[in-house]
A and B are shown apart, each in its own frame.
Chain A
Amino acid sequence: MQNKPDKVLIDRIQAGDTAAFEAMVIQYRPRLIASLIKYTKSVELSEDIAQQTFIKVWQKIDTFRGESALFTWIYRIAINLAKNAFNSKSARNDDITDNLENIETLTAVNESPEAFNISLSLKAELDNFLRELPIDLKTAFLLREDEGKSYEQIATIMDCPIGTVRSRIFRARELILEKFDEIN
């Protein structure tokens, strides 16, 4: 089911608003890549598929009917592209090839060592930090991020106003970002 922010976003993108499209890409790309990694088991392939997916989303946005959440629709497109990639006979595309019609066929991009730059210690610190968040913030945040609960549901679970849930999740995010900045 389409939520209200999705509807506003989609209406704008369908009207040709590229800034809204950019906002959508920024919002959904990390989550899409993370979801694709579970399927492809490859970071590079997932990044490439994500890129191809957003091209396709732009081209096909007028066909989106709002019967599912926007991310669900995007993810379905990505999974189809991933399947094409696995079924395709094309391999790496370091050089220009003649196979240009097959733009939906994913070609793996060379791995970039420069992007592999977070140490084991950072990962451990992030994991520890999540555990060390103040309990109210951690609970609200994980109920939202891990379990996908709505603010209303979280408010019921935590027996607090929705506004408090919103504030706690926001503060949790800010604390996590402060921690990341410290570490980086």
Chain B
Amino acid sequence: MDEKKNKFEMLSAYLDGELNEAESAEILEMLQADSELRQKLQKYSSISGLINLHSSDKALASDDIHARIFRKPKYYATGMAATILIALIVVGNNYTFYQANNEIIADAASSREAQNHLNNIDGALNQHVMKILAADNLNVDYLNTNLVPVGYNQDPVKPSYFSNGNNKFRLHIENNNFGLKTDRYWNVNNELVYVRPMKNGRLATIYGKIDPQEAKSFLAYIDRN
């Protein structure tokens, strides 16, 4: 118990910028491996946020803001959102998080089950996106030629590749939809990654040079047929 208390006290001093370099390095190492410590950091920093708001603008210190700043400390949606952001960022140097998943994050704030579910979705989804970016020819089902939307050409040699004028992209359809309920998309090094959970329970992923509206239309067409 003393060891835990010591590390939390050290974390508290870290938050205040009162550790030397060696101690700071030690805490950062511990944070990497220790989820309890990360949660504690989240809690401590939430208190700071709350105090910071509370002392400066009491007119705005309503219930809503307390909720948003503090984020119900048992369920670390804020830290988790940060984790999601980080996980997406590590995929590429110019990985830009386009679309916020605030409804999912808000749900997670109110339910541990939802939080675990979200952790599982995003962990698995991140892995999926990483595989898409890294591999040229994943072992997935190819789209039947008859289902290709009008105006698009399917590469006969590499059936997962499609083109339409300036657009060129890969399509992956697979069985696991990772529990996704809505479309998501990201820009990675000026190319788009677009994922859509389909009506038949499968997941369609587009990766390449195409804008989101076109990707959405393409996948919506496939999903209807």
State whether the Cβ of B3 lies closer than 8 Å to any Cβ in chain A.
no
Q: Are B16 and A180 in contact (CB under 8 A)?
A: no
Q: Are B213 and A22 in contact (CB under 8 A)?
A: no
Q: Are B45 and A26 in contact (CB under 8 A)?
A: yes
Contacts of A135 in B (CB 8 A): none
Contacts of B24 in A (CB 8 A): 4-5, 7-9
Q: How far is the CA of A145 from the CA of B65 in the complex (A)?
A: 18
List A residues at the B interface (Cβ < 8 Å).
3-9, 12, 17-23, 25-35, 37-38, 41, 43, 47-48, 51, 54-55, 58-59, 96-98, 100, 103, 109-110, 112, 114-120, 122-123, 126-127, 144-146, 150-151, 166-167, 169-170, 173-174, 176-177, 180-181, 184
List B residues at the A interface (Cβ < 8 Å).
8-9, 12-21, 24-25, 27-28, 31-32, 38, 41-57, 60-74, 78-79, 81-83, 85-86, 89-90, 94, 96-98, 100, 102-103, 106-107, 109-110, 185, 187, 211-213, 216
Q: How far is the CA of A79 from the CA of B126 in the complex (A)?
A: 30
Contacts of A174 in B (CB 8 A): 8
Q: How far is the CA of A7 from the CA of B14 in the complex (A)?
A: 12
Q: How far is the CA of A6 from the CA of B83 in the complex (A)?
A: 20
Contacts of B90 in A (CB 8 A): 18
Q: Are B28 and A19 in contact (CB under 8 A)?
A: yes
Q: Are A12 and B28 in contact (CB under 8 A)?
A: yes
**A96 to B, closest residue via Cβ:** B212
Q: Are B216 and A126 in contact (CB under 8 A)?
A: no
Contacts of A166 in B (CB 8 A): 9, 12-13, 18
